[in-house]
Every structure is written in C-alpha cells, then in structure tokens.
C-alpha cells in the first residue's frame, strides 16, 4: 500500500500547481533563451484584462503581450525580447513557450523583473526558475519584492 501511495504521488505531483501563482522557467541553451510560462487556466478567467486583445480568443498571444509588458529579463544590462513560440494546455494549465536569441557570453549580470497579475490579486506570486549559466536557482516574487539582481 505504501508503494502504491508513493507511486500515485510521483505521477500526480508534476501536474499539481498551487493557486495564485504563475511559474516562469528560464533556460539558456547555446545562444537561445527560452521561457516556459505556466498558469492555471482558471486563474486567467478570474483576471479582468482591459485591453484591445481578446483574451478569450487569442489567449496565448494576449498573455505573451501582457507578460512582455509587465516583466523583463536583462542579461549583462541588455533586455531580452522574448517571442511566442507555441502554447498548449496540460492538466488544466496553460503553458506558453517563448524564446529569443542571445549573444551575451560570459553572463556576468542577470536582472529579472516581474509585476504580472498583481493588479488583479495583490497576494499573487510569481515563481522564477533560472537555469542560465551560473545562475541556477528558484525565486518567489511578490508585489513587494518583484525584482531579482544577480551578479
């Protein structure tokens, strides 16, 4: 019975996602920075996006525009312009993949700023996962602490 419980936990844990939190996983491979953004689909429905973008019909495109407007990543002082690659849903979560070509070797400084979704929910959190050269760590950003500076 204990083995069955552990097995079920291992299988279901990757699809568990806490409420009021979005995840931003940044990874650098060769000269490409990728961002995997994950959020519960129900969370998006709770937000009141007042914009010219139809969030119901063009969810990934609208959220990409929103993320790029409310957050950034700078490598060695240069802002990286992330572009939408694709999106899909998995276990009631929306996953959006963005990427950009970067040529900043060696990476000496990294700044991540994120103020996404705080205007809809002041207790919202943004989990930042970094896998960029020597910067490999996870951070939890809040409305009060919305910036990471690493060097």
Question: What pTM value is reported for the model?
Answer: 0.84
Mean local confidence (pLDDT), 57-62: 89
Q: Does the pLDDT at position 12 exceed 60? A: no
Confidence of residue 1 (pLDDT cuts 50, 70, 90): low
- DSSP character string of the chain: -HHHHHHHHHHHGGG---TTEEEEEEEEETTEEEEEEEEEHHHHHHS---SSS-TTTSHHHHHHHHHHHHEEEEETTEE---EEEEEEEETTEEEEEEEEE----S---EEEEE-TTTTT-TT-EEEEEEEETTEEEEEEE-SS--EEEE-
Q: Read off the pLDDT band of 18 (50, 70, 90).
A: low
- Reply yes or no on whether the pLDDT at 10 is more than 80: no
């Amino acid at each position: 019975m204990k083995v069955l419980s552990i097995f079920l936990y291992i299988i279901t844990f990757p699809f568990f996602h806490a409420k009021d939190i979005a995840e931003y996983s940044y990874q650098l491979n060769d000269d490409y920075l990728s961002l995997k953004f994950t959020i519960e689909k129900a969370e998006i429905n709770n937000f009141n996006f007042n914009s010219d973008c139809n969030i119901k019909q063009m969810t990934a495109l609208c959220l990409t525009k929103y993320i790029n407007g409310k957050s950034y990543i700078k490598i060695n002082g240069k802002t990286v312009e992330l572009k939408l690659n694709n999106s899909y849903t998995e276990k009631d979560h929306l996953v959006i993949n963005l990427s950009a070509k970067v040529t900043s070797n060696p990476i000496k400084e990294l700044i991540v700023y994120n103020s996404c979704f705080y205007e809809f929910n002041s207790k919202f959190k943004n989990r930042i996962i970094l896998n960029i050269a020597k910067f490999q760590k996870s951070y939890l950003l809040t409305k009060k602490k919305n910036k990471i500076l690493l060097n």
